[in-house]
Amino acid sequence: MDKVKRVCVYLWSAILVGLDQVTKMLVINNIKDDSIVVIKDILRFSYCENKGVAFSFGSGHVPVFIIVNLLMICGLIFYFERNRKDFNWLSRIFFIMVIAGGISNLLDRVFRGFVVDFINVNDFINFAIFNIADIYIVVGIIGLACCMIFKGDKEWKKKS
């Protein structure tokens, strides 16, 4: 992968981090003490401070999560840099999403002491409140897994 593509990966990651941080600032400034119904009985925006990780697990251990989060991001970037030739355009997009989500939630933990969550679907399904960065991470991981599975399948078919 040439330098332009590498720069684009990190530039797009920064843009996605910025978008997530803007949504969180909008929530903090506009609905911190209230809730906004977006789609009745399905989706509303509600301010929530998550001092843990997924589903508020481990609440109160923010310094540990900062270290783990930082190590995971560094590990992913290290893996990407060492294996960048193996990433096609689609897997790069999914990688960008995972890195951006991780960095954005890390910024929350470092500068706020918690992650700002606000997407609330509890009226529709019983699920934890989450944010845009969480969506990046989940979609990115599922996408990368699919890329790995299908790439592996193609390599297997070539060998047989």
Residues involved in catalysis: 117, 134
Q: Which DSSP symbol is given to 77?
A: H
How distant, in Å, are the alpha carbons of 1, 25, 28, 42, 43 from that of 127? Answer: 40, 23, 21, 11, 11
Residue 109 φ then ψ, to 5°: -65, -40
Among the residues of 113-159, which ranges form H helices?
Answer: 132-159
Q: Euclidean distance between the first and final Cα of the chain, in Å? A: 29
Measured CA to CA, the distance from residue 21 to residue 65 in angstroms comes to 19
